[in-house]
Structure 1
C-alpha cells in the first residue's frame, strides 16, 4: 500500500523561529524546525506562510534553508500573505479562507496537518474554525519544546495531534455567518428566491449538508428541481471536503427486473443470460461520493431490501456472487409519490422508508412558487447567455406581458421549472438583436396554452380584446367566455340579458336586463355590436 504524503501548513513564527544568531540558533527550539525533526513524523511538504516585508521574507528563506539541512526529504513552499493587522479577526479569517479555497487539496494522496503553534491567537482560532468547518481537510498539530535537553544536541521538541472540540468557539463562529450565506446562495444557484417555505427548506438543507451524512429524501413533482438540488448538495459537500468520490444519479423508474439489480449492485460474469462481463454497479461507482436515486418509490421490493442493507452496512452482494463488496456512499433519494401510502399498500418497505426519512424536504412545483417565477426568468436568461455566448433580454412591455401570464393562475406549468426553462430558451433562441418582443411572448403563450390543452379557451377573447385579453384573471376569462356564448346565441341585447339574469330579475321591481348586460360588457371595453361583427 502506497503511503500518503504528509503536508503541514502553518505560519512562520516571527518570534520563536527567529531566536538565536549564527550557529547558536541550532541550540534553540524553533517550532517550524522542530516540526520537521520529529523522528516518527515525516513531513513531506511544509507550506510556510510568511509576511511580505523584507525581514519576514529573509527569515522564511533562512528557515527553509535550515529545514533542507536537517530534513532534506521535506519540500518547503514559501507562501507570502499580507496582513495589515494580524489581530483583526475579519482580516485574518478572510485571508485564510481565500488561501484554503484556492489551495489544490489532494486527499486521495495526501494527509494534511495544520500547525497551530505559530501565528497570533487570532490566527490559531481561525485555523480551528476553518478546519472544523471542513474548509481544511486536516488535523491540528501543536509542537512544544522538551523540558530537558542537552546543551549541544539539536532541539526537536514534541508534538501533539489535537481532537477538535469547538463548542467554546460558537460565539466567534457566529461572526462568520457569511460563509453559511454563501452556502445558501450556492444551493439556490444565486437565484433570489422569494417563497418563504422554500427558503426555510434550503436553510435546513444547508445545515444538514455540512453537518450530517444521513440520507436525505426530496419530495416533489417532476421538474421541481430534485435532481438539480441533489447535485448542488453534493458540490457543497465536496467543497467542504466531506466527499471526494463521484456524484452518481439514476432514475429508478427506468430500472426493471434483473437489469435493476445489475445496474444498482453489479454482477459477476455469467450471473444471468447475457452477462458476458462483470459489472461494478452504481453503488460501487458512488464509493466515497454521493448516490442520487430519483423516483425511489419505483424500486422493486427485492431491490429495496438490498438497498437497505447497503445503506446500513455499506456492504452488499453483487448479482450471482457469494462474496460481499463494500461501498461507502452518501444517499439522496427523490420521489413524486407519497411513500407513506406506498408503505400502506405494501409497495414500499417500511424499514427502508424509516431509514431514508430522517431528513425529508418537500420541493413545491412552480405553480406553488409563483413569486419565484421572476427571479427564475432572470436565471434562465443568464444561463442561456453562458451556454450560447449571447445575451438576450426582454423589452419592458414584453417582460410585463410574459410575467403577468406566467404568474397567473391560468399558467398550469405542468412541467414545473423544467418547462419554464424550455419556454425562456425558445424565446431567447428566436429573439432578434438580443431582444424578446411582445409578438414573441404572445406566440409563446399560445404555444404553452396548446401544450396544456387550452387551445380554444381564449380564441374569441384575443380577437375581441387584443392584448388586454392577456391581462385577465382566469375567473374573469371564464365568466366572460360564458357571457359571450349566450350573447352570440341571443337575437338582441335584451334577449341575452333575460337569459343571463333569469333568476335575479324576478326579485327586482323594475328590470333592465339590457342595461345590466351593457354595463358588464363595458367593463371590458365591449359593445353589443362588437360581438356580432366578429
Structure 2
C-alpha cells in the first residue's frame, strides 16, 4: 500500500533561503521525506501561487533526497490564512474533489506547517473523515543529531487509547449518575433510558420530549439535563420553565413571545417573553399539550428558525434556545383530535423518552426512599430513618397492588416528609408507618372517583357505579404494568396461588373484553382525564 502525505507549504519553516545553507536547517515538509522508516510515495503540497518559488524549490529538494517521492502541487486561494471560514472552505473543497483510493493508499495529514487556523482546519476535516487518514506531526532534531528531525503519527480513533476511552466512560457514568439524582437505581429499562438521555444531552441541541404521568419526574430530569449541559460548558444562558396549562389567550402569547407596549388592553409596558429569556439557554415547556394552536404555530417557527414576532410588534426578534417539552398526554391522539399540530409534534419528537410511573419502578423504591430521607435530613439538619420493622411494613404496603401511587414520586415525597416530621428521636416506627398507610389509603380513595379517564365516554355506554369503581382500579393497574401478565399477577395475587396452573393475563383479557376493551387500548389511556 502506498503512503501519501498531504501537507501545507510552510512559508516560514519550509522557506530557509535559496543558498546551500538551507540544507543545514530543519524543514518540516522536507523532513518527512528524509525519515529512514517512512517511505513517502507521493506528497500532495498545498500552496498559494504567490509562494510558487518556495514550492518549486522544496519540490526539487524533495526529489534530490527522495527520488521515489512524487510531488504534486495544488494551488489554493487563501487571501487571508487567518480567516477560519475561508480557510476551512478552501480545504473542504480540496478534500471533496480529491480522488482518495483507500484500498491502495494510506494518507497522512501533516499538521506542522501552515497557520494555526489551517492546522485546526486540517484536524477538523480529518476528525470528520473528509480527509480519511491519520495525522502526522514533525519536530526539529535534538541538538547534534540528524537534520531530518522526528515525526509522530497520531490516530484520531480515540477508542484505541485506553486512558482516553476510560476517561470518556467515566464522564458518561458520572453524567448518568447525575441525571438520576445520585440514586442507585436498579430498574434496567429506566437505567438504559437515562444512559441514552446523557448521550443526547451532551451531544445534541435538538428538542427533547419527556412524556409520562404526572409526578414521574419530568421536571426534575429537565433541570438535571440543563445543569449537566451547563457543567459541560454547552449552555451559557438560563433555564426558563413554564407550565403551559397556566397560559391562556393573550397571556399565552405574551408570556412566551413577549409584547410591545400597548399591544393589548393592560399592556402598559413592554414584556421580553420566556423565549427571549431562554436565549443561549434551555426552555422547559411542561404540559406542552395544553398550548393553543396559534401558540403552537409560532413555537414551531421559533424552534426551526430561532425567530419569532412579539405580540403587537412589526419586527422579529431571535433566541437560540434549546427546548425540552413535557407532557402527560398522548400527543398523537391530540393530533388526531385536532388539538395539537402534527408538524410541531414531528419537530419535537426527535428524542422522546417515556418516564415510567412509580409503580413501574418498584424495584427502585428502596433507593428512592433513602433519597427522600437524605433530602429531608439536609433540609432540616436532622437525621431521620426507619427502624427495621417499620421499613419492612412500609415497603410491603408500598409494593402491594393496594398502593396506587396516584401522583407517583410526589406521593412518595409527601409520605416520607410526613413520617419524618412526626418521628420521635429521629426513628420512624411501625406505628408511624401504620398511621401513614391509613392516610395514603384515605387520600387514594378520595381520588378514585375523580382521577383517570372518563370510562363511560371512552367505552361509549353508561356503567353501574360498581363496574365503574372496579374497572377504574383495573385500568389503573394495567396502566402501571408493563404487560398483561404483569397486571394479572397483581390483580389475582391471592387466587393465583391456589391454582396448580393459571393464565393471569387470560383472566384479565376476559374481564376487559366484557367492556369491549383490550390491554393495549387501556395502556393508551394513560394521562387522559
Q: TM-score range by the shorter chain?
A: 0.5 to 0.7
Q: Aligned residue for 2:208? A: 216
After TM superposition, the structure 1 = structure 2 runs for residues 266-345 of structure 1, keeping only pairs within 5 Å, are: 266-345=258-337
Q: State the alpha-carbon separation in 2 of the partners of residues 432 and 180 from structure 1.
A: 42
Q: Tell me whether 1:168 sits opposite 2:160 in the alignment.
A: no
RMSD: 2.9
> Is 2:252 the counterpart of 1:260?
yes
Q: Tell whether the 8 Å contact from 1:220 to 1:335 is kept in structure 2 after alignment.
A: yes
User: Residue 184 of structure 1 is aligned with which of 176, 184, 203?
Assistant: 176
Asked whether 1:433 is paired with 2:410, we answer no
- Offset at 1:194? 1.3
**Aligned residue pairs: how many?**
310
Deviations 1:216-238 (A, max 9, x none): 00000110000000000000000
Distance 1:246 1:210 in 2: 17
The 5 A counterparts of 1:316-465 are 316-453=308-445
Is 1:316–1:324's contact at 8 Å kept on the other side of the alignment?
yes
Superposed CA offset, 1:474-498 (max 9, x none): 757899xxxxxxxxxxxxxxxxxxx
Q: Is the 8 A contact 1:292 1:332 kept in 2?
A: yes
For each residue in 1:107-161, what CA deviation from the matched residue of structure 2 results, as whole angstroms up to 9, or x when unmatched?
xxxxxxxxx99xxxxxxxxxx9xxx9xxxxxxxxx9999xxxxxxxxxxxxxxxx
Distance 1:451 1:167, change over 3 A: farther
Instruction: Give the alignment of 1:67-146 within 5 angstroms.
Output: none
Displacement after TM superposition at 1:167 (Å): 4.6
Off by >3 Å, runs of 4+ in structure 1 = 142-145, 454-457, 473-479
Alignment partners' CA distance in 2, 1:365 and 1:417: 8
Pick from 198, 209, 215: which aligns with 1:206?
A: 198
Whole-Å Cα distance in 2 between the matches of residues 186 and 417 of structure 1?
18
The CA distance in 2 between the partners of 1:166 and 1:411, in whole Å, is: 56
5+ residue gaps, structure 1: 1-115, 118-127, 133-141, 146-164, 458-472, 480-534
CA offset digits 1:355-405 (Å, max 9, x no partner): 000000000111111111111000000000111111100010000000111
SS in 1 for 2:326: strand
Q: Distance in 2 between matches of 1:190 and 1:370?
A: 17
Partners of 1:166 and 1:367 lie apart in 2 by 48
Contact 1:410 1:474 (C-alpha < 8 Å) held by counterparts: no
- Contact 1:219 / 1:361 at 8 angstroms: preserved in 2? yes
TM-score by length of 1: 0.55
CA distance in structure 1 between the partners assigned to 2:179 and 2:249 by the alignment: 35
Instruction: Report the Cα distance in structure 2 between the residues aligned to 1:419 and 1:366, rounded to whole angstroms.
Output: 9
Q: Secondary structure at the match of 1:178?
A: helix
* 2-structure distance, mates of 1:321, 1:404: 60
Report if aligned partners of 1:183, 1:236 keep a CA contact under 8 Å in 2: yes
Matched, 1:232 2:224: yes
Q: 1:252 to 1:209 in 2, by over 3 A?
A: same
- Aligned partner of residue 249 in structure 1, secondary structure: strand
* Cα 1:451/1:321, change in 2 over 3 Å: same
Decide whether aligned partners of structure 1 residues 455 and 214 sit closer, same or farther in structure 2, where only a CA change above 3 A counts.
closer
| Residues 449, 455 of structure 1: 8 Å contact kept | no
SS of match in other structure, 2:344: helix
> Whole-Å Cα distance in 1 between the matches of residues 379 and 213 of structure 2?
26
CA contact (8 A) 1:343 1:349 kept: yes
CA distance in 2, matches of 1:454, 1:306: 40
1:21 is aligned to none
Q: CA 1:382–1:316 in 2, change beyond 3 Å: closer, same or farther?
A: same
Q: Compute the displacement of 1:171 (Å).
A: 2.8
> Residues 445 and 475 (structure 1 numbering): CA distance in 2 closer, same or farther, change over 3 Å?
farther
TM-score by length of 2: 0.56
